[in-house]
Amino acid sequence: MPNVVIVGSQWGDEGKGKIVDLLTEFAHVIIRFQGGNNAGHTLVVGGEKFVFHLIPSGILHPGKKCIIGSGVVIDPGVLCEEIDALKKRGYFQGESQLLISEEAHYIMPYHKTIDVARERLKSGGKKIGTTGKGIGPAYEDKVARCGIRIIDLFDEEAFREKLEENLVQKNFYLTQMLGESPLDGTQILSDYMGFREKLGKYVADTSIVLHEEMKKGKNLLFEGAQGCLLDVDHGTYPYVTSSSTVAGNACSGSGVGPTRINAVIGVSKAYTTRVGGGPFPTEMKDALGEEIRQRGGEYGATTGRPRRCGWFDAVIVKHAVRVNGLSGIALTKLDILDTLGKIKMCTGYRRNGKTIDQVPSSIGVWEDVEPVYEELDGWQEDTRGTKRFSDLPINAQRYIRRFEEIVETEVILISVGSERDETIVLKNPFDTV
């Protein structure tokens, strides 16, 4: 009964959706445990492109149970749209395939309005680069103990009281501090009662469900969103997301104890990208960076924003190995480097004449470092669709082996294309127990 956690090892957008979809074949239950619809997990199956914002990427597999855990913040309108879109395309035909934790929190309309308005008031480099989806303000209310949970909507009077109480504060903040118009509680109540009718059949105490599944010997696959360097504690704070993105949160965000986790797989691109503001030591602001962006289709799945692109940064991935306890790495988008004659890896940083080989805690230090590079020969051969490691060009093999040496973790999966079957499987994490 192996249970596996999948997390991002960089700044998100590493290709977690594809890896989760691939490993769903060996799992019975797939769980999203944090974040919200700021996530955009893209996968391509049979030439069809799918982008998931809330529903676990395993939903394309009939008979697999998908759970949205208590650590997720949910925009019910987005979730309804996602469900409808899947059904129209012939997927998600069994209602029992999806469950939503009754303890998860709603994203409310005021969360989204506040999110956008606060970002608008920030100047230049102070902008975080929020998606404006209301994720941060929803988590703020959760911690401030005034959030509205999924279960609250089943008691209309209690929901109304919480909404009215929150709107007193939120409308004052919106009008007096942010220069926005007040929100109408009556309309919000009506909208959310409608969502209850659509989503109520999926709501359950999912922690109990997961424990019952484990008693039956079922395999669990935990799907993280964003990436380690966007973690609110261990990332490039304040240029981070609003939740804990590391593997430890798979437990608290789902209601499963840490002793039930058997493997943690970090997903990493063969290069580095990030969206929004914040430090990025290996960023390439030149024609080569643009070439990688175009070849890799590096545009945000949620916002459409162009991603910043740079060389692989081993410092941040070693950080991810440490704080997540990674047992293996899924290396993605190796094929995007196929055309390059020389490829660089960042093995450390330099600041004031000193070498730094760990992620700094100070944002000031982050923004003042220079990358230390090691240059490797490229392979300039097509790797897309390669099925075996031994069939990769010799320099591609050397690149991967050097990658493993620097980050001190083995590569167990190699993605050489966007399709599900364009993957080299060196080790199946579900075979570890």
Residues in the chain: 433
Measured distance CA(56)–CA(137) in Å, rounded: 23
The one catalytic residue among 13, 21, 141, 335: 13
* Rg, Å, the chain Cα set: 22
Contact 86, 72 (CB under 8 A): no
The sign of the CA dihedral 222, 226, 227, 232 is negative
53 part of the active site? no
Residue type, 146: C
38 Cβ contact partners less than 8 Å away, ≥ 6 residues apart: 53, 130, 131, 133, 135, 225, 226, 241, 302
* DSSP-derived 3-state class of residue 385: coil
Q: Which of 6, 2, 25 has the alpha carbon at shortest distance from 330?
A: 6
Give the per-residue SS3 of 340-371.
CCEEEEEEEEEECCEEECCCCCCHHHHCCCEE
**Exposure of 423 by Cβ count < 10 A (0-12 exposed, 13-18 middle, 19+ buried)?**
buried
Angle 15-19-20 (CA atoms, 0-180°, nearest 5)?
115
The one catalytic residue among 28, 41, 111, 234: 41
41 part of the active site? yes
Backbone angles phi, psi at 323, to 5 degrees: -80, -20
Q: What amino acid positions are annotated as catalytic residues? A: 13, 41
